[in-house]
Chains A and B, each alone.
Chain A
Amino acid sequence: MNPKLTRRRFIKGVIASGAAATTTAAWYSATGQERPSGFVERLVRINVNGQVRNVDVEPQETLASTLRYKLGLTGTKLGCNRGECGACTVLVNDVPTYACSVLTHSFKNDRIETVEGLESANGDLHPVQQAFVEELAPQCGYCTPGQIMSAVGLLRENANPTRDEARHALAGNICRCGSYDSYLDGVMRAVELIG
Chain B
Amino acid sequence: MAYMHIGKDFTPPDVPGKVTGRIKYAEDYTREGMVYARLLTSPIPHARVLDIDASEALAMDGVFGILTADDVYPDGEPQSTGLKILTNEPTLVGEPILALAAVDEKTAETAIAAISVTFERLPFVLDPLDSLAEGGGNAYPGDTNTFVFRQGFATEKWTADQVASFRAGNEPTAEPQQTVEYGDLEAAFAESTYVYEGTFTNAGYPHMSMEPRSALAYWENGKLYLHGGSQSLTAFADGIAGIIGVPKADLVFINEATGGGFGQRARAGSVPVYAVPAKLSQKINRPVMMRATREEEFTIGGARQGLTGWIKVGFKPDGVMAACDLWIVSDNGGKGGGADAFSAADCISVLYQTDAVRFRGTAIGTNTAHRGAQRGPGQNQIAPIISPIMDVAADELGVSRFDIRKINTPMTGDVGGPQRIPFTSAYMPEALEMAGNNLDGMNVNHVVVSKTAAKW
B104 contacts the other chain (Cβ, under 8 Å)?
Answer: yes
B312 contacts the other chain (Cβ, under 8 Å)?
Answer: no
Chain B residues numbered 8-45 whose CB sits less than 8 Å from any CB in chain A: 11-12, 14-25, 27-28, 30
A27 and B110 within 8 A (CB)? yes
Chain A residues numbered 94-115 whose CB sits less than 8 Å from any CB in chain B: 114-115
A118 contact set on B, CB distance < 8 A = 20
Q: Which of B12, B21, B61, B208 contacts A145 (CB 8 A)?
A: B21
- Looking at A35-43, A79-87, A155-163, A164-172, the stretch in contact with chain B turns out to be A79-87
Chain B residues numbered 97-130 whose CB sits less than 8 Å from any CB in chain A: 102-104, 106-107, 110-111
B210 contact set on A, CB distance < 8 A = 77, 79, 85, 87, 140, 142-143, 174-177
B19 and A129 within 8 A (CB)? yes
Q: Would A115 and B15 be within 8 Å (CB), given that A30-B61, A30-B63 are in contact?
A: no
- Complex interface bits, A46-63 against B, C-beta within 8 A gives 1, otherwise 0: 000000000000000000
Q: Would A114 and B209 be within 8 Å (CB), given that A26-B103, A141-B257 are in contact?
A: no
Q: How far is the CB of B171 from chain A (nearest CB, A)?
A: 37
A66 contacts the other chain (Cβ, under 8 Å)?
Answer: no
Q: How far is the CB of A55 from chain B (nearest CB, A)?
A: 16
A73 contact set on B, CB distance < 8 A = 21
Instruction: Classify the interface of chain B: helix, strand, loop or mixed.
Output: loop
B16 contact set on A, CB distance < 8 A = 125, 133
A150 contacts the other chain (Cβ, under 8 Å)?
Answer: no
Number of interchain pairs (Cβ within 8 Å): 119
A125 and B19 within 8 A (CB)? yes
B260 contacts the other chain (Cβ, under 8 Å)?
Answer: yes
- Complex interface bits, B219-263 against A, C-beta within 8 A gives 1, otherwise 0: 000000000000000000000000000000000000001111110
B62 contacts the other chain (Cβ, under 8 Å)?
Answer: yes
A6 contact set on B, CB distance < 8 A = none
A30 and B60 within 8 A (CB)? yes
A30 contact set on B, CB distance < 8 A = 60-63, 102, 106-107, 110-111
Q: How far is the CB of B438 from chain A (nearest CB, A)?
A: 17
A11 contacts the other chain (Cβ, under 8 Å)?
Answer: no
A3, B160: Cα distance in complex, Å: 56
B211 contact set on A, CB distance < 8 A = 77, 79, 140, 142
B420 contacts the other chain (Cβ, under 8 Å)?
Answer: no
Q: Which of B25, B30, B61, B102 contacts A77 (CB 8 A)?
A: B25
Q: Would A114 and B107 be within 8 Å (CB), given that A30-B60, A30-B63 are in contact?
A: no
B61 contact set on A, CB distance < 8 A = 29-30, 32
A132 and B260 within 8 A (CB)? no
Count of B interface residues, CB-CB < 8 Å: 41
B173 contacts the other chain (Cβ, under 8 Å)?
Answer: no
A138 contact set on B, CB distance < 8 A = 15, 18-19
Q: Which of A24, A138, A142, A175 has the most CB of B within 10 A?
A: A142
Q: How far is the CB of B402 from chain A (nearest CB, A)?
A: 25
B208 contact set on A, CB distance < 8 A = 176
B283 contacts the other chain (Cβ, under 8 Å)?
Answer: no
B12 contact set on A, CB distance < 8 A = 136
B257 and A81 within 8 A (CB)? no
B260 contact set on A, CB distance < 8 A = 139-140, 142, 176-177
A74 and B24 within 8 A (CB)? yes
Smallest Cβ-Cβ distance to B104: which chain A residue: A26
- Complex interface bits, B62-103 against A, C-beta within 8 A gives 1, otherwise 0: 110000000000000000000000000000000000000011
A181 contacts the other chain (Cβ, under 8 Å)?
Answer: no
Q: How far is the CB of A30 from chain B (nearest CB, A)?
A: 4
Q: Which of B14, B20, B25, B103 contacts A116 (CB 8 A)?
A: B20
A119 contact set on B, CB distance < 8 A = 20
A31 contacts the other chain (Cβ, under 8 Å)?
Answer: yes
A13 contacts the other chain (Cβ, under 8 Å)?
Answer: no
B110 contact set on A, CB distance < 8 A = 22, 27, 30-31
Q: Which of A27, A78, A82, A142 contacts B107 (CB 8 A)?
A: A27
A75 and B22 within 8 A (CB)? yes
B14 and A141 within 8 A (CB)? yes
Q: Would A82 and B20 be within 8 Å (CB), given that A27-B110, A140-B211, A140-B260 are in contact?
A: no
A167, B334: Cα distance in complex, Å: 39
B21 and A115 within 8 A (CB)? yes
A142 and B21 within 8 A (CB)? no
Smallest Cβ-Cβ distance to A65: which chain B residue: B105
B294 contacts the other chain (Cβ, under 8 Å)?
Answer: yes
Q: How far is the CB of B179 from chain A (nearest CB, A)?
A: 36
A142 and B259 within 8 A (CB)? yes
Chain A residues within 8 Å of B, Cβ to Cβ = 22, 24, 26-27, 29-32, 68, 72-82, 84-85, 87, 114-116, 118-119, 125, 129, 132-133, 136-145, 148, 174-177
By Cβ-Cβ distance, the 9 closest A-B pairs, closest first, are: A75-B21, A142-B259, A141-B18, A74-B28, A115-B21, A142-B210, A138-B18, A129-B19, A30-B107
Chain B residues within 8 Å of A, Cβ to Cβ = 11-12, 14-25, 27-28, 30, 60-63, 102-104, 106-107, 110-111, 208-212, 257-262, 293-294
- Excluding A77-B211, A79-B212, 16 further A-B contacts by CB distance (< 8 Å) are A74-B27, A77-B210, A79-B294, A115-B21, A125-B19, A129-B20, A133-B19, A136-B11, A136-B12, A140-B209, A140-B211, A142-B210, A145-B21, A148-B19, A176-B209, A177-B260
